[in-house]
A and B are shown apart, each in its own frame.
Chain A
Amino acid sequence: MATMLLRHMAPNQAGVIVKVKATGELGRRIRDMGLVPGTPIQVQGRAPLKDPVAVRVRQFTLTLRNNEADYILVDVEKIP
């Protein structure tokens, strides 16, 4: 187990959110989407230009930009 930023996760890598550092509008939007500590998350893939990133969380797929993913810390499992 290691903690890293969502931005640095590899495709298909899974983990559990430990912290969401964003505040204000961005923080609220992230939380509205269900990204709160304790939530399992898996990287689905990245757009053709490597940004945004698509993640699977709570049975749905969400995309967010890398600079927004920088606010999310994840306890990751080893790359399968």
Chain B
Amino acid sequence: MKQAFHKSQEHLFALAGNPNCGKTTLFNAITGARQHVGNYPGITVEKKEGFYSLDGRQIRLVDLPGTYSLTAYSLEELVARDFLVHERPEVVINIVDASNLDRNLYLTVQLMELGVPVVVALNMMDVAEGRGLRIHAEELSKRLGVPVVPTVARRGEGKENLLRVAVEMAQSERHWEPLHVSYGPDVDPVLKDMEKIIGEHGFLTDLYPARWTALKYLEEDEQVKAKGRQANATVSEHLEALAAKLTEHLQKTLDSYPEAIIADHRYGFIAALLKDGVVEQRLKGNRMHLSDQIDRVLTNRFFGPIVMVAVLYAVYEFTFTYSELPVQWFEAAFAALGRWAEQAIPEGPLRSLLVSGIIDGVGGVMGFVPLIFFMFLAIAFLEDTGYLARAAYMLDRVFRVFGLHGSSFMAFIISGGIAGGCAVPGVLATRTLRTSRERLATLLTAPFMNCGAKVPVLAMLIAAFFTENRAQMLFLLTLLAWVFALVLAKIIRLTILRGPSSPFLLELPPYRIPTFKGLMIHTWERIFQYIRKAGTVIVAISVLLWALMTYPGLSASEKAAFDVERQAVLETLSEHHKDLLTSEQKTDLPPQVQEAREQLRAIDKREAATALQSSLAGRMGTALEKITRWCGFDWRTNVALVGGFAAKEVIISTLGTAYSLGELDTEENTSLSERLRQDPHWNPLVAFAAMVFIMLYSPCFVTVTCIVKESGSWKWGVFSMVFNTTVAFIVATAVYQAGRLLGLGS
């Protein structure tokens, strides 16, 4: 075709459909690995884009968020609608679930009313057939007036044909032709009047068809009304008055509202469309579906909760068991990289920056990658099978008491609801919540849980001061975390995120076996975002924290003083012994050399501790003593807590440096426990206050960056740091002061 040559070789198609209709599966089947995920500018709804080439043509496919309609109540709906209106894709491929045609066509009708060229993908034909439904695609196509292509996304069937039909439609350069649905004797005349006014004034006609704008005014669509007021206030007022008059009339005569009548007629339109000859029910009778039978057990009053606990435990076991080894590999790889850098680069600030700042910082974050991978894999599995929706359904009543949503529980569990999770995937898991108030409340409180990084710190303190009942202590702290998270969620929902709970209308999709490819793509997308973050924000903050704990360092005279001490030790040795000291030999050293080595090491450690104290972080710690003495912390604890902002494990290593233990392994913290036990400043009361503080204070910076990203604003990241730390301080102070009043801890 010669003509086609002049036309654009790239087509922009959008993919729209209900949640659970197989949209993502089809998208993945079409684009495979050629896709990327981003965010729609300014908001957190994911934007997925993929490419496909067909007969030398590039097709850019944008996956719109799954929606039930095109109203503008949720972010997803708004995004989908705005994309269609502003980006004007050449064709919208609308995926409908063939086994649930009437509800899925509700969106189709709205797309057609908007006028955008539609191709319907009649998906899940296999499921429909399994239920004894036969759908005549050609007949449906004839009645809808748009192409209908049967597909089975799970097996990739029909995708090529679907794209061919879409390309054909794009090439035919069909104009936007809005569908006219009749809304009955009360609404139609008003619509007609409104259409006329809109047409005469060219009111928003560059964006929407006239009838569509009129409909939105009747449906009380705030976004369109706001746009209208901006465009032409007089026309907008006129339209609003007409809508108000109709509303009044309908209330008087039918005790109903325009939006209800409109919805009724849309469904009526669909019912008429599907009547006689489109859907053929071959198996009669009310056969119970397999999904319903499974639900009889899985959401049963008695078995449901038991199964749920078992599932949670399995997720937990799966994640932590299988990620243990790869996490060790990652850690070993970064340790090796650090050692290599230590040898390759001469000693000095540059080496310190690279090793202690960047490699340790990024390594600490990347070390979590396998853990997050398995966690996401488990969640993707639960999500894709449909179990996650059941769990939300069962738990909604409990979480509602605290102003949360049934879907909040997964985020809590993952963050460490059973001690040992991680708040980063926990925060990312709040994506399964659709509504914003509950979602934010969950985002902000999930980090109170005892994540895997807090556990070793708590374990070290428990080992030092609560030797008698270790297990009970950790259990108590886990319970406390839940109590604090839920109570604070309630407080947040009653104050800054006040408002009624959002409607809980959740579809329980039929149980399905997820596809391997779908699981992998799902998991990879999220992992990739995490890794990308490690390369940017995290490097910056690692460097900042490193600088805080390194500079300004010791003054020349202080350094000289340590050198003098070292010199003094060296002078006790003969030349031969000095050579032995600097040699690599480790064993069979003469006692003098052994002793000198010990002394030198002790001097190094004291120098490190002094350097830490005089660093900016150390000075901050000392300055903070004025405040933190209320909860019983000295400067050393304060510095460790500042370092803990990088990652909670750092608390142990920093305490180690501050108590001049030198390099400390988190695994071998017995010597630190011993040291703390002997230090007069520490006692069980201080330890308990410290544990509560560590449990509650600011999330680590990886979590904070995730909160920023997920909430779409820096405001919430800063809020979580300030709010959590304030709560931690108040609670730890209360614990410490109350304990002192009771005469504990001295």
Task: Give residues in A with beta carbon < 8 Å to B.
Answer: 20, 23-34, 36-39, 44-45, 47-52, 54, 56, 58-65, 68
Contacts and interface: CB of A to CB of B under 8 A. Distances in A.
A48 B391 CA distance: 11
A10 to B, nearest CB: 15
Given A25-B73, A58-B100, A31 B299 contact: no
Given A29-B73, A36-B264, A45-B295, A52 B504 contact: yes
Given A48-B299, A48-B302, 14 more contacts: A24-B220, A25-B502, A28-B71, A32-B68, A33-B68, A33-B507, A36-B264, A54-B299, A59-B103, A60-B508, A61-B507, A65-B396, A65-B503, A68-B505
B415 interface: no
Contacts of B393: 47, 52, 54, 63
Interface stretch (B255-263, B358-366, B589-597, B687-695): B255-263
B305 interface: yes
Contacts of B304: 47-48
Contact of A20 (B68, B260, B400, B506): B260
A25 B221 CA distance: 10
Nearest to A45: B299
B394 interface: yes
Interface in B490-506: 502-506
B259 A27 contact: yes
Interface residues of B, number: 43
Contact of A36 (B69, B267, B503, B504): B267
A43 to B, nearest CB: 12
B530 interface: no
Contacts of B106: 32, 34
Interface of B: 68-69, 71, 73, 99-100, 102-103, 106, 219-220, 257, 259-260, 263-264, 267, 291-292, 295-296, 299-302, 304-305, 393-394, 396-398, 400, 406, 502-510
Given A31-B260, A32-B71, A68 B507 contact: no
Contacts of B502: 25
Q: Is the interface of A mostly helix, strand, loop or mixed?
A: mixed
B263 A47 contact: no
A47 B304 CA distance: 9
B73 A28 contact: yes
10 contacts: A28-B259, A28-B263, A29-B505, A33-B103, A45-B296, A47-B304, A47-B394, A59-B100, A61-B507, A68-B504
Contact of A47 (B71, B299, B505): B299
Contacts of B506: 52, 62-64
B267 A34 contact: yes
A64 B259 contact: no
A61 B68 CA distance: 14
A23 B257 contact: yes
Nearest to A42: B286
A48 B264 CA distance: 33
A30 B505 CA distance: 8
